[in-house]
């Protein structure tokens, strides 16, 4: 699931950085040239503690931070960019199934067994362990596709979604 947070990550907000920039350079800023008292609470994150960033560079700075932070090797997830991944025009149920497949999570027999909601993790095809990887690339019960198909939401990915959306 952590991988889906690439859609939105509050740690990558740059508002504080642009505020710091204003405070340092704008004569009209109420805290211009103000010298701060020592912070009393470590838990408080004031904008004065962050690196300052020019407002017009905030978006590229945020993307840079995001690229540094995002170390996923999952090819099904798009590289950090401030747009929703492909497939956003799908119906909600299909969109959810697509994103479950991208993140490799879902109500597969293996997961349901782990949650004690199924007596075993068997797949209807006969495989002993129905994991997301199994139904994506091995299962004889449905179509297969690659991480690239998932990322680009190709016809192959949509055929897979149609087959599995009510099952996982």
CB of 78 to Zn ion, least distance (A): 28
Cα separation, 123 vs 96, in Å, equals 21
Quick one: 135 or 157, whose CB is closer to Zn ion? Answer: 135
Cα separation, 168 vs 108, in Å, equals 5
Q: According to CB under 5 A, which one of 59, 125, 133, 148 is a site residue for Zn ion?
A: 125
Cα separation, 151 vs 162, in Å, equals 16
Quick one: 7 or 156, whose CB is closer to Zn ion? Answer: 156
The answer to the question of residue 108 lying near Zn ion (CB under 5 A) is no
Angle subtended at Cα 160 by Cα 156 and Cα 163, rounded to the nearest 5 degrees: 140
The answer to the question of residue 131 lying near Zn ion (CB under 5 A) is no
Q: According to CB under 5 A, which one of 53, 103, 132, 139 is a site residue for Zn ion?
A: 139
Cα separation, 154 vs 123, in Å, equals 25
Residues that bind Zn ion (CB under 5 A): 123, 125, 127, 139
């Amino acid at each position: 699931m952590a991988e889906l947070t690439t859609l939105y990550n509050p740690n990558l907000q740059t508002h504080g950085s642009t505020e710091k920039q204003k405070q340092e350079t704008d004569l009209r800023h109420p805290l211009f040239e103000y010298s701060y008292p020592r912070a009393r609470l470590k838990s408080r994150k004031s904008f004065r503690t962050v690196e300052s960033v020019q407002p017009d560079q905030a978006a590229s700075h945020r993307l840079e931070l995001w690229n540094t932070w995002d170390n996923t090797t999952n090819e099904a997830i798009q590289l950090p960019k401030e747009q929703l991944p492909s497939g956003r025009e799908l119906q909600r149920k299909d969109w959810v199934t697509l994103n479950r497949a991208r993140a490799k999570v879902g109500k597969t027999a293996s997961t349901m067994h782990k949650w004690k909601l199924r007596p075993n993790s068997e797949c209807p095809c006969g495989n002993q362990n129905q994991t997301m990887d199994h139904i994506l690339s091995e299962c004889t019960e449905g179509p297969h596709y690659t991480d690239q198909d998932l990322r680009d939401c190709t016809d192959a990915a949509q055929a897979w979604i149609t087959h599995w959306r009510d099952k996982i």
